A = this chain, B = another copy of it.
Amino acid sequence: MTHLNLSTKFNERLFDMDFMNFGHSISLIHHHLEEVEDELTGWLKQPLNITAEEVDEIHNLSDEIKENADVLLVIGIGGSYLGAKAVQEALAPNFTKKENGIEVLFVGHNLSGSYMKRLVESLHNRDFYVNVISKSGTTLETSIAFRVLRHYSIERYGQNAKNRIIVTTDSEKGLLKEIALAQGYRMLDIPSNIGGRYSLLTPVGLLPISVAGINITEILRGACQAVIDLNEEDLEKNEAYRYAVLRYELYSRGYQVELLASFEPCLSYIHEWWKQLFGESEGKEKKGLFPASVNYSTDLHSLGQYVQEGNPLLFETFLSFKHLSEDCHLPFNELDDDQLNYLSHRSFNDINHISEQGTVLAHFEGGVPIIQIELERLDAFHIGYLLYFFMKACAISAYLQDVNPFDQPGVEAYKTKIRDLLNEKTIVS
Contacts and interface: CB of A to CB of B under 8 A. Distances in A.
A363 B283 CA distance: 14
A310 B93 contact: no
A324 B419 CA distance: 23
A422 interface: yes
Number of copies: 2
Interface residues of A, number: 128
A305 B328 contact: no
Interface in A310-364: 310-314, 324-328, 330-331, 333, 337-340, 342-343, 345-349, 351-352, 354-355, 357-359, 361-363
Contacts of A116: 328, 348
Interface string A80-110: 0110000000000111100000000000011
A327 B118 CA distance: 9
A79 B418 CA distance: 38
A143 interface: yes
A340 to B, nearest CB: 6
Contact of A276 (B81, B114, B303, B423): B303
A426 interface: yes
A171 interface: no
B354 A421 contact: yes
Contacts of A115: 93, 265-266
Given A110-B265, A354-B425, A357-B421, A287 B303 contact: no
Given A283-B309, A309-B409, A414-B363, A338 B301 contact: no
Contacts of A313: 256, 290, 313
B287 A151 contact: no
A111 B358 CA distance: 14
A242 interface: no
A351 B111 contact: yes
Given A113-B347, A302-B276, A413 B288 contact: no
A420 interface: yes
Interface stretch (A34-42, A60-68, A209-217, A292-300): A292-300
29 contacts: A77-B301, A96-B121, A111-B348, A113-B348, A114-B349, A116-B348, A117-B328, A144-B340, A144-B351, A147-B331, A147-B333, A179-B338, A196-B301, A256-B311, A272-B302, A279-B302, A284-B305, A286-B312, A291-B303, A292-B292, A305-B408, A305-B409, A313-B313, A342-B422, A351-B422, A355-B418, A358-B414, A359-B417, A362-B416
| Shortest 5 CB-CB contacts between residues of A and residues of B | A283-B306, A78-B301, A283-B310, A308-B410, A113-B348
